[in-house]
Chain A
Amino acid sequence: MEKFTRLTSIVAPLDRANVDTDQIIPKQFLKRIERTGFGEFAFFDWRYLEDGVPNPDFILNEDRYSDASILVSGRNFGSGSSREHAPWALMEMGYKSIIATSFADIFRNNCMQNGLLPVILSESEVDTIMARALRGSGYKITVDLETQTVTDDQGLKASFEVDPFRKNSLLEGLDDVGITMSLGEAIGSFEEKRTARW
């Protein structure tokens, strides 16, 4: 997994609530057997016109956000399907962190497994970041996982919660399977007891 420590980047605003995983990566692109190749299809229905030309009205297509690595959006981001193709697609599109007032559970888990940091802030903090990102261009924030803060140069100083285990995994770039494999003995003895009972 990619490490996440500290990131300063332009913020791209997607001012909608309930952005679901069917929007993030539509079903027709879920047929690949690799973890890659999804980025160009992210937000497909919103991002492209009928003939495959980028939709000029879709905000993430605007030049001023093309270098953004942070996405800010409305509540319940990532609702719906469990497809991990959604974080894969967002990461390939260039995003490394997403800020919202809430996330759907499975999506949030999937992000954590891939080093894409979901950050929950309060409504007023998200509104502030959204408004500043929508205004002008070049608005940057810093997401610091070590200190669990989000800051900008206009006085924003927000803090966020993150599970200590997940935090460490992200900072170190560790994947869960390796850590759990080291508990193989505990799993083995649990299995013996369980088999005896059932």
Chain B
Amino acid sequence: MAKTMFEKIWEQHVVAEPEGQPALIYIDLHLVHEVTSPQAFEALRLTNRKVRRPDLTISTVDHNLPTDDTRNEVIKDPIARIQVDTLRKNCEETGVVLYDIDSAAQGIVHVIGPEQGYTQPGMTIVCGDSHTSTHGAFGSLAFGIGTSEVEHVLATQTLRQAKPKTMEVRFNGELKKGVTAKDMILAAIGEVGTAGWTGYVVEYTGDAIKKLDMAGRMTVCNMTIEGGARAGLIAPDDTTFDWMKGRKFVPKGDAFDTAVAEWRKFASDEDAQYDELLEIDCDSLEPHVSWGTNPGQVAKITDRVPAPDDFEDPADVSSAKHALEYMGLSGGTQIEDISIDRVFIGSCTNARIEDLRSASEIVKGRTVASTVRAQIMPGSTLTKMVAEKEGLDQIFKDAGFEWRESGCSMCLGMNPDILVPGERCASTSNRNFEGRQGKGGRTHLVSPEMAAAAAIEGHFVDVRDWETE
């Protein structure tokens, strides 16, 4: 029988299906960071249990790290410092590898997994972080878990999972210049809403997906969780294998060719059946900007901010009313007329080297508006080093951007990088929830290109009209 990629990966990982219990699924790679792991390690200690497979577990520090020049000093926030030190101690005790602050491999956990070659097709990957869906770009079944489940995986290398349903999200057609992977996923979530995919694993297909580079595919899969699905998948192909080849933990030589042959088999069979299908046309897709306080509240760049009365469902009307009030916007405002105070290019959604290159094209030879503070936090220390080698840092600095260190930073503002109340930010991150980037801060989600152009102009602009050198 024809199978979907999800079914193929699932079947290879079922350890047991005891009567009346959800399936027990084997986990190939467990990513750990400082925020959601301390209570899990502590629980193991209290129950006298060990980490079953430290060799399949890797960790890094990303959420709490400062991104300014105090980075290599002791973290000033005492509670954040304890959290980071606790991870160090836990890794030392259990033999889990830690990519610490002084390592080139340090970075946002969803950036370094693929960058170092840990993330591979056909794997099951979990992390105590909802954006674990990112790794699905390689055709691995990857999803976020809570701390109790982190404990479960540390102790047993397995997870209990009810089998989800499958949905195909097919992106037809071709992206126009200036329209990106970020716009594809924002448009899709705008269409289905933030709970539209709850209970599903999404597989992204179609010509526009096939043509995306790996960074774009990671952006799409990263935001799968914003539509409510825990995992998003893209079939591995030559784009995937070319990107992976030569990375540190990817098999080398003949072993690589053997692996590629196996990896290809994970792609869904041609006549595989999904439970649902959603189609999105990319020929007419425009750059998107979020206007509200969840990632489903988005508009095209040529559009206006909607008014609450534009919605039919009473819950949507009430959501829009709250959102507009919080965002300090009124219905009918042209998106291009929204002025911004801050720009954040960073996060596990859009801080890879490819994202930085795209943003630099927009910025090159131009100057950040005098009313805007613009910052770039590369996704990993290695990404930062590569960007500097290519001279991207100079392009950004010449334009007036702050070139900072890597980490989750202002995506969620656990470190000192936050908005002050009322500040409005064009952000390449994934969530525009109330207070996400700082209490009272107003977040607009956009692509790196759109964020860069907004930094220059001081308000949102249609990057499709942008002349590049």
Contacts and interface: CB of A to CB of B under 8 A. Distances in A.
B393 interface: no
A194 B26 contact: yes
A10 B262 CA distance: 57
Contact of B38 (A17, A26, A33, A106): A33
A84 B26 contact: no
Contact of A31 (B20, B195, B414): B414
A79 B16 contact: no
B371 interface: no
Contact of B146 (A28, A34, A74, A109): A109
A180 B24 contact: yes
Contacts of A17: 315-316, 318-319
Contacts of A83: 35-36, 146
B174 interface: no
A131 interface: no
Contact of B156 (A16, A33, A81, A181): A181
B431 interface: yes
A53 interface: no
B411 to A, nearest CB: 10
Contact of B15 (A23, A30, A76, A187): A187
B47 interface: yes
Contact of A45 (B130, B152, B439): B439
A28 to B, nearest CB: 7
B15 A102 contact: no
B77 interface: yes
A80 interface: yes
Contact of A183 (B15, B47, B63, B315): B15
Contacts of A135: none
Interface residues of A, number: 51
Nearest to A185: B16
A27 B439 CA distance: 10
B436 A22 contact: yes
B435 interface: yes
B315 A176 contact: no
A76 B194 contact: yes
Contacts of B433: 20, 22-23, 80
B130 A186 contact: no
Nearest to B195: A76
A105 B414 CA distance: 24
Interface stretch (B80-88, B208-216, B395-403): B80-88
B160 interface: yes
Given A28-B414, A105-B228, A186-B24, A177 B195 contact: no
17 contacts: A22-B412, A22-B433, A22-B434, A23-B434, A26-B439, A30-B63, A76-B195, A79-B294, A83-B35, A113-B146, A165-B22, A176-B149, A177-B43, A181-B49, A181-B156, A187-B24, A190-B15
Given A17-B315, A183-B15, 5 more contacts: A34-B38, A85-B147, A165-B22, A183-B156, A187-B24
